[in-house]
Amino acid sequence: MKVLLLRLAGPLQSWGIASRHNTRSTRTAPTKSGVVGLLASALGRPRGADLSDLAALDFGVRVDQPGQLLVDYHTVTAASRSADRALQRMPTAAGSTLRPHESTKVTRRHYIADAVFVAALQGPLTGQLAEALKTPRHPLYLGRRSCPPSRPILIGHTDRYPTVAAALAQLEWQAGPAERRRHRNETHVTCEIIIDNRHGDDFLTDIPLPSPPFQRRFGKRNAEHRRDPIPVHPATTPHDPMDLLG
């Protein structure tokens, strides 16, 4: 069965699991729910649609370029009007509300900056997904709407690899040019790999469950963490910035 390979790279990414209230965190690697949501967007599925067929695909992700954690600090006013035109105010511990000019809150939104990941999926829907990623029905984002990808996501849909684990262990390193220059004299780079494994000793709460729109629920999956040497293929043609002036 063919393996679908995706390159997830952009200026910012955010793959949260516990993203509620004033702190919206991110995991250090893409979540299965986040990638499933991206694929559902490419297919044109609406919010609240059943995603169990996508969640059932074998899934794995590789960290080719970890990036850096970025925390976006916000001061947000709550002295605004809701959809029913009622004035919103911040509550107090005593059960009352603050005055409008005092109704503000601080939020911290976490992102991963300048990261590159490879995601692999295997199952009966991967051919349809590969076609959808070429011409997605809706815009694609890397975890949040403020995080567009920097290039087309689809790497390929191939039967070259028998499993997701084999694909992530053998596919050429996908890091950006600056990271490649730092490792230009190496033949392999060690990368973290996280794959579905029913016998794995890690539990991740990122399986999307059927739920109404804006009331998302998630189930747990077993995962395995590995660190494998990934082949580095040097560029066949050296970069020459003066080529653009020819």
Mean pLDDT of all residues in the chain?
A: 86
Note the pLDDT of residue 237: 46
Q: pLDDT tens, 172-217?
A: 999 999 999 999 889 999 999 999 998 888 888 888 887 776 677 8
- pLDDT given for residue 201 in this prediction: 84
Q: Average the pLDDT over 74-87 and give the result.
A: 59
Q: What share of the chain is helix, strand, coil (3-state, %, to 5)?
A: 20, 40, 45
In degrees and rounded to multiples of 5, residue 232 shows phi and psi of -110, 115
CATH 3.40.50.150 fits 3-68+112-230, yes or no: no
- In the three-class reduction of DSSP (H, G, I as helix; E, B as strand; rest coil), residue 40 is classed as helix
Name the pLDDT band for 236 (thresholds 50, 70, 90): very low
Residue 218: strand pairing partners? 208
Least confident of 35-44, 85-94, 178-187, 222-231: 85-94
Write down the pLDDT at residue 19: 61
Tokens of 198: 């029913």
**DSSP bridge pairs for 202:** 223
What tokens appear for 37 in the block? 């949501």
Q: What is the pLDDT of residue 25?
A: 83
Residues 6+ apart with CB under 8 A from 56: 123
Task: State phi, psi for 100 to the nearest 5 degrees.
Answer: -55, -45
Which conformational region is residue 225 in: left (phi greater than 0), alpha (psi within -120 to 50 degrees), or beta? beta
Residue 214's pLDDT is 65
Q: Where are the domains of the chain?
A: 3-68+112-230
pLDDT digits (tens, 9 = 90+) for 116-153: 999 999 999 999 999 999 999 999 999 999 999 999 99
| Helix 126-134, helix 32-43: angle, nearest 10 | 70
- Distance, CA of 150 to CA of 9 (rounded, Å): 6
pLDDT at 83: 57
* Helix, strand, or coil (residue 27): coil
